Amino acid sequence: MRSGNRLHGVEWSHNVAKSASGSWGGRYLSTCQNLDYQLSGIQINSILRANEQVVLIPEFDGRGLSAVRKFESNQLAANKPNEDRRSAASCLQTKGMLFGVFDGHGGCACAQAVSERLLYYIAVAIMPQRILEELERCMEQGRPVPPILQWYKHHGDVNFRESAALYVDHLRVFWQELLDSEDHGDGMSQRDALDYAFRRLDTDISLEAQVPLYTDLMKTTAIQVAFSGSTACVAHVGVDGIHVANAGDCRAVLGVQEQDSSWSALPLSRDQNSENPAELERVRAQHPSSERDTVIQDDRLLGVLMPLRAFGDVRFKWSQELQQSVLDSLESRVDLESLNLYRYTPPNFLTPPYLDVAPDVTYHKLRPQDRFLILGSDGLWDELGNEKAVQLVGEHMSGFRLQAPLSPSERQLSLGEMQELLRKRKERAAPALDSNAATHLIRHALGTGDYGDLCQERLGSMLALPEDLARMYRDDITATVVYLNSDLAKHHN
């Protein structure tokens, strides 16, 4: 991301610009030096660790082997409220795990709804006909529906409680349609399910904003969800490999440990923004040549939006007439001003839709050297390159292993090998600051000084910025680190 806010034209974004390298650079330092805010180490840690999550996954849970050993996640807000969301759940059908990172803009409503709903759409699309029939029978007979996902929630995660019944109704309509289709049979492949679920959920978001709903609260939520937007990057991690579906500029990067123990990064997604030439061409090709110079302006869609694919954002998808009629129909029931919708029409809005959510889906077969997967919102990748992030997590991982008690195999080391181990331990004697690798990433993302060192003062200034200033100097950051079960890959290979 190249400037403060993803939506252009909001109060401050026009006068804050990042350098081409993506960092806030000297502007940040000079401004921070003038700020008199400083935090103690304890205060810094308590802010950085407030949203930490760590979940250990049993290697074998009685049903099957897990490709994931553990995951660690964290979020740090710049917006208030945070517009990033994250999701993690086991898919009970595939026995794999689903991880999502969602970066909202124009409010958090769309990211919130997508983080609650998308994994269900994916799991349902994968389910074979006979399981869907069972779900439908349970609904008809008023029996409890068998679980579809096992969620791993952070205590700070929230839900749109007032819309829960609506979301279940529409998920049910989705599986009923799958049941009615001739060829659902054994369920969709993971690739097709990811692709279809993204598009299907976005269609539901669009329709829910157009149809009458039971309560005004439900309706205003549906409008807020549809008029705000969210990018999404979702990974399904199974014993057979990793599928990543990406729409927008969140990113999935694999941490690979080479034979010489060094670390390298393998991106499993490509950012869909104006820095991606193929993406620019894709967007331009969808509109008449007369719009070639206006579809993307200032590196933004119609000069407004940074990501080139997203959920919601009906301002870029619906005709102006439809937008107006939906808002008009609402005007008598609710105070539209209170919804904080971005209602203006983008310039050169001639041949909508300009935006869709169809994701790119990639597949990577797990190899023994694949050690972890990092999912991050652009707030993370703005500050850290892929290689740097992988190196940080890799070293963090090795550092912890070196500090752990001797394993049974290490107890049998020769004297020379033991000396080498002790030497490495000594090198790493400085205690790691964070046990959670996602926190380790966020700490370095915000606290790395000009010489690549971790600078406590810089971190303190960054975290002490008052609410109205924080968003000018950093974005919301979400990081999830998924540790892979490499032994499994060895076995498979």
Closest separation between CB of residue 103 and Mg ion, Å? Answer: 4
Q: Which two tokens stand for residue 322?
A: 């439809």
Closest separation between CB of residue 105 and Mg ion, Å? Answer: 7
Closest separation between CB of residue 8 and Mg ion, Å? Answer: 14
**157 vs 378, which CB is nearer to Mg ion?**
378
Closest separation between CB of residue 73 and Mg ion, Å? Answer: 16
CA–CA distance, 445 with 449 (Å, rounded to integer): 10
**103 vs 157, which CB is nearer to Mg ion?**
103
**195 vs 475, which CB is nearer to Mg ion?**
475
**382 vs 434, which CB is nearer to Mg ion?**
382
Q: Is 107 in the site for Mg ion (CB under 5 A)?
A: no
**Which residues have CB under 8 Å from 223's CB, separation 6+?**
209, 326, 327, 330, 339, 341
Return the closest-CA partner of residue 161 out of 114, 217, 213. Answer: 217
**108 vs 489, which CB is nearer to Mg ion?**
108
Q: Which of 157, 475, 483, 486 binds Mg ion (CB under 5 A)?
A: 475
**Which residues have CB under 8 Å from 388's CB, separation 6+?**
444
Candidates 126-134, 260-268, 397-405, 468-476; binding stretch for Mg ion (CB under 5 A)? 468-476
Closest separation between CB of residue 363 and Mg ion, Å? Answer: 26
Closest separation between CB of residue 352 and Mg ion, Å? Answer: 24
Candidates 65-73, 98-106, 189-197, 277-285; binding stretch for Mg ion (CB under 5 A)? 98-106
Q: Is 116 in the site for Mg ion (CB under 5 A)?
A: no
Closest separation between CB of residue 212 and Mg ion, Å? Answer: 34
**23 vs 210, which CB is nearer to Mg ion?**
23
Q: Is 208 in the site for Mg ion (CB under 5 A)?
A: no
Find where tokens 């181990």 sit.
421
Name residues contacting Mg ion, limited to 353-392 (CB under 5 A). Answer: 377-379
Candidates 69-77, 423-431, 452-460, 469-477; binding stretch for Mg ion (CB under 5 A)? 469-477
Binding site for Mg ion (CB under 5 A): 103, 377-379, 475
